[in-house]
Structure 1
Amino acid sequence: MTGRRPTPQGRAARLRLRHGLHVARRGADLLDRKLQVLLERHGRLQQDAERAEAQWRERWTEAQTWLLRGLLVSGEGGPAAAAVAGRADVVVEWTVSMGVRHPSGASCTDAIRAPYEPAPGNTALAHAEGAYREAVRAAAAYAAHRTAARMVEEEAARTRRRVRALRRHWIPRLTAELAAVEQAVEQTEHEDAVRRRWAADRTGGTGDGRYG
């Protein structure tokens, strides 16, 4: 087990500790402000994610409803026959908040139906196709908002741990070391002052005896 490091001594050490303590307190204050901004940002992102989730669930339910209606009209083979072979393309947009890079949104490009691919066999399936396109867009937006909220929350947790380490460990240790150094410096200065007075008194006493 590693023991506590020895406390540095001397005026130079006192200056270094004072500077280190100032930097640590300044850093803790800055991290505190960063934490507050991150928490506020996370709150807004969390609200956005909740709204996006609600919208996605609504779009998904609507699409499922239209699909069920289409199945009732055309049978189970209807949706498969009208399915588009291509896939939707989702592009995630990014931004930076307080040093945290996170998604800011997502854009979605629908799959294009080829000329040779058959169109939906009935109106319900056509509505279902459009509803599923909207559901995919809503799902992409929800994923972007949820990921952004999670990434900002993780950075807030890291910042909180750093603030806690500074205020509970680093700053108290520097404060204790500075107090010990200042006491040692004061003791040294006091002893020097006593020795100077003793030397001055001794010099004066020798002079009186020689010429008395």
Structure 2
Amino acid sequence: MTSAGRAGRVRVERRLMTARHGARLLDRKQHILADELERFQLRLELGRAEWEELAKEAALWLRRAAALDGSRRIEAAAPLEPARVSVTWGSAMGVLYPQDPECRLPPVPPAAGSSALAYAAVVHRSALEAGVRFAAVQRAELLLSVELAATRTRQRAVENRWIPRLENELQSIRRQLDAQELEESLRLRWAADRNSRNAVRLAQDSDGRGIR
């Protein structure tokens, strides 16, 4: 029984050590993710401001071009091919997120309208590039936010539930082992005292027979 209890104590001690190590790793991951998220949140605000400003300017010049050139010339000024976007992927503590997006714009058709139409096309291209950058940062911020929240939840579960439960289990095992060891020690002492008394009694009986 004592041997099984000692094996259980070793097993729980190892699990407790693993849990504490895991809590430290989760805490480190949380701080790294929080720093990375703060950096992306700053870029997000800057990217949103840039995109909104260019989008407003593009809408303004589109209205002016519509007034001067009409919808047919606007349609004729539209590129024949769609824009294409490619991204590379960065990583922070195992979280993959898009970064450094590249927006490949199609060739601009020959100008056939007012300067307002030409400038509207230029501003729309700039707004599209800004929107792509903003979307990539927004997605990265979302992915990091989700992982940070999950990491904090796991860390609280380890620190507030798993570690205390293992500590209580280990304390209970230690109390049982202490009680068993005390019981065994008392049993050995009683056995030793009994043997000692028996030896004294035998010696006394032997002396008594010798006297007779």
| Gap regions ≥5 residues in structure 2 | 205-212
Aligned to 2:208: none
- The percentage of aligned residue pairs carrying the same residue is 38
Deviation at 1:28, TM superposition (A): 0.6
Cα distance change, pair 120–47 in 1 and its aligned pair in 2 (3 A)? farther
1:205 aligns with 2:200: no
Cα distance between partner residues in 1 of 2:175 and 2:23? 26
Match of 2:62 in 1: 67
Instruction: Find the residue that maps to 1:76 and give its secondary structure.
Output: helix
**1:78 maps to 2:73:** yes
Mapping 1:1-212, distance limit 5 Å: 10-113=5-108, 118-212=110-204
Quick check: 163-172 or 142-151, which moved more?
A: 163-172
Q: Give the structure-1-normalised TM-score.
A: 0.91
> What is the letter of the counterpart of residue 16 of structure 1?
R
The list of structure 1 runs, each at least 4 consecutive aligned residues, that deviate by more than 3 angstroms after superposition, is none
Aligned-partner Cα distance in 2 for 1:23–1:82 = 64
Q: Which has the higher helix share?
A: 2
Q: Deviations over 1:97-156 (max 9, x none)?
A: 11100011211111124xxx5524111111111111111100000000000000001000
Cα distance in 1 for partners of 2:97, 2:47 equals 16
Deviations 1:152-196 (A, max 9, x none): 010001101111111111111101100100000000000010011
* Distance in 1 between residues matched to 2:184 and 2:34, nearest whole Å: 54
SS at match of 1:204: helix
Aligned residues: 201
Which residue identity lines up with residue 37 of structure 1 in the other structure? I
Report the secondary structure of 2:100's partner residue.
strand
Shift in Å at residue 82 of structure 1?
Answer: 1.7
Normalising by the residue count of structure 2, what TM-score does the alignment of the two structures yield?
A: 0.91
Q: Secondary structure at the match of 1:121?
A: coil
